[in-house]
Amino acid sequence: MSQFNDEYDRLKALVENNIAEYLPGVDARSGNLLNAVRYTLDAPGKRIRPVLLLLSCKAVNGHEADAIPYACAIEFIHTYSLIHDDLPAMDNDELRRGRPTNHMVYGEAMAILAGDGLLSAAFELMHKDYMLHMNDALSLNRRLRAGDAIASGCGCGGMVAGQAADIEAEGKEVSPELLYYIHKNKTAALLRAATTAGAWIGGANPETVDALSDYGENLGLAFQIADDILDSEGETAVIGKTAGKDAEAQKATFTRIYGLDASRERLFELTELAIRAVAETSGTDRFYIEILTEMARDLALRVK
């Protein structure tokens, strides 16, 4: 277990040591834009999505150096989504990762622009990497497929679609089908994008890419259920954001639709589905498959 944790921490540090370097330059005349971007980007977090991307690349015997730009890009996208999620027009939250949210410090306008800048920076970063491999068709193909997975995961057929459906569903009766649609897109799509992109960058065959994609999607749904349970039972000081906000806003959550006990049962079912998705993959590095397995179990039991 400790060597798995050590490797996770090493990859997390690798992301954090590179992420500032990949930010595009911001002219001082743009005022507080860079400060607002860095405020949320540098906040302490698990870096789950970029580490998942790197682990997936390593699991298929790829090189982490090839995947780092895409890992940082997906963290830019995730960070932009947090900034925008917290805005008064969205979830209207004042606390994120134990600190005041971006708009509470820099104002709504600058927070919106910081999110816009991070989303744009993600695609700048990936396109710069494409251009470095224009003369290597195989390498470029892998990178384009990874970029497509990330773009699909964060856009109108992924995260943004889920966010829109989530807003529309507030205060309404929600069917199980709509509940899964919301969270398959709002939360799971970006985790699926991370594992899919990592697999493509690492040179996996289509069957293994599909297996890692399924892992990411099931992990993402399990992650959301754990989040819903924490919102119901957690303490603000522990989870680092305002507890009880989803219930107050009558959000479409698993705990609201199914209750706590059934939600816990589904959480563990999805965790096992994620684990099984990668358990029998051939030609993979078992050390990294085991890290993905332990990661799924740890996320199911998290307290923040």
Q: What is the pTM of this model?
A: 0.94
- We find that the CATH architecture of domain 2-300 is Orthogonal Bundle (1.10)
Q: How confident is the model at residue 237 (pLDDT cuts 50, 70, 90)?
A: very low
Distance of CA 179 to the CA centre of its chain: 19
Q: Quote the pLDDT of residue 273.
A: 97
CB 213 within 8 A of CB 196: yes
The residues, any chain, with a CB within 8 Å of residue 132's CB and separated by 6 or more, are none
* 62: confidence class by pLDDT, cuts 50, 70, 90: very high
Categorize the per-residue pLDDT at 241 as very low, low, confident or very high, splitting at 50, 70 and 90: low
- Report CA 281 to chain centroid distance, whole Å: 23
Place of tokens 């405020």: 39
Phi, psi of 175 (to 5 degrees): -75, 155
Sorted by where each begins, the domain ranges of the chain are 2-300
Read off the pLDDT of each residue in 208-236 and give the average, rounded to a whole number. Answer: 90
State yes or no: pLDDT of 240 exceeds 70: no
Section 203-212 average pLDDT: 98
**Could you tell me whether strands 99-100 and 95-96 are parallel, antiparallel, or unpaired per DSSP bridges?**
antiparallel
Instruction: Report the pLDDT value the prediction gives residue 244, as an integer from 0 to 100.
Output: 58
Mean pLDDT of 153-164: 97
* Phi/psi at 109 (5° precision): -60, -45
Dihedral angle of Cα 98, 102, 104, 108, to the nearest 10 degrees? -160
Locate 290 and state its tokens: 């085991």
The more confidently predicted of residues 124 and 24 is 124
Over residues 255-299, the pLDDT tens digits come to 999 999 999 999 999 999 999 999 989 999 999 999 999 999 998
Please name the helix (run of DSSP H) or strand (run of DSSP E) that holds residue 21, with its range, or none: none
CA distance readout (Å), 159 to 51, 98, 154, 187, 220: 19, 24, 5, 7, 12
pLDDT at 242: 60
Where does the chain show beta strands of DSSP type E?
95-96, 99-100
Residue 269 three-state SS: helix
Q: Above 90 in pLDDT, residue 250?
A: no
Distance CA 182, CA 187 (A): 8
